[in-house]
Amino acid sequence: MQDWQSKLQGKVVAIAGGTGGIGSTLARKLAPAGVQLVLAARRADRLAALAQELSAIGPTPLVIPTDITDGAQATHFLQQAIAQFGQVDCLVNAAGAGILKQFNKLTEADFDRMLAVNLKGSFHTCQAAIEVMKDRKVGHICNVIGILGKHSMPMGAAYCASKFAVAGMSKCMADEARRYGIKVTLFYFGGIDSPFWDEVSLKVDRSKMLSTETAADAILFAMAAEPQAIPMEINIQPESHLFF
């Protein structure tokens, strides 16, 4: 067993966006280490299929169909984890979506959607997680933001607005959460080859992107850090990320 596996064995890890490229890769690494997973996403069929696959290699995950844009559903996700397992050691926010369009072509609906899922969704899950972690005085929130939470890109106005906002929110939250013994890590990944790009109209060279393995390994590194260490930010860019 590797060092990180023994450190995480028996922990309860909730993943919002657990069926996504990054979330499911992370889940597939955590399950064999004996981590109890609680997975949320909107599509119940995908959650059920992943749960079946993970049950063959680790503890049966709890799956909660959840739309994180709805605060009540996000609260239910974390509360169900507590009801079932009595604690949540880590929340990974890996739910999100991208609309990448020329600024003048963005609609108000595009803008609202980006803010709803990427910003308000994280707000809801983080708030619900802090609520269930604070009395234990231990916990970790891993927010997968993306490099567009600190750098601009043509076509990225609505997406960047949501990601810069979630970065600002997360930093303020981290300052407060520290009082409760809760760590917060912000991940600024460059392009990752995942289903995220299936829906994006922008032409990109996916072969030049990072893999979901790289993203999941970075999250594992932060999760397994020694108790007194707070990995505050992790930045990983692909060597070449050409848009053409």
As annotated, the active-site residues are 159
Name residue 63's beta-bridge partners: 39
Single out the segment in contact with ligand NAP by CB under 6 A; choices: 56-64, 128-136, 194-202, 235-243: 194-202
- 61 touching ligand NAP, by CB under 6 A: no
Q: Which residue, 7 or 171, has its beta carbon nearer to ligand NAP? A: 171
How far apart, in whole angstroms, are the C-alpha atoms of residue 100 and residue 220?
Answer: 29
- 238 touching ligand NAP, by CB under 6 A: no
Count of residues engaged in binding ligand NAP, rule: CB under 6 A: 31
CA 185-26-30 angle, to 5 degrees, is 100
Q: Are 95 and 149 in contact (CB under 8 A)?
A: no
Residue 8 CB contacts under 8 Å (≥ 6 apart), including other chains: 30, 33, 34, 35, 220, 223, 224
C-alpha closest to that of 187 among 128, 132, 237: 237
Residue 237 CB, nearest approach to ligand NAP (Å): 10
Residue 79 CB, nearest approach to ligand NAP (Å): 16
How far apart, in whole angstroms, are the C-alpha atoms of residue 99 and residue 78?
Answer: 28
**Among 30, 50, 66, 157, contact with ligand NAP (rule: CB under 6 A):** 66
Q: Which residue, 10 or 195, has its beta carbon nearer to ligand NAP? A: 195
Q: How many CA atoms lie within 13 A of 113 on its CB side?
A: 10
Q: Which residue, 23 or 58, has its beta carbon nearer to ligand NAP? A: 23
- For residues 68 to 107, the per-residue mask of contacts with ligand NAP, x marking binding by CB under 6 A and - elsewhere, is xx------------------------xxxxx---------
Name the E strands within the chain: 12-16, 36-41, 62-65, 90-93, 139-144, 182-189, 233-236
- 41 touching ligand NAP, by CB under 6 A: yes
Return the residues of window 114-143 that contact ligand NAP according to CB under 6 A.
Answer: 117-118, 121
Distance of CA 77 to the CA centre of its chain: 14
Single out the segment in contact with ligand NAP by CB under 6 A; choices: 131-139, 170-178, 191-199, 224-232: 191-199
Q: Contact residues for ligand NAP (CB under 6 A)?
A: 17, 19-23, 40-43, 46, 66-69, 94-98, 117-118, 121, 144, 146, 189, 191-192, 194-196
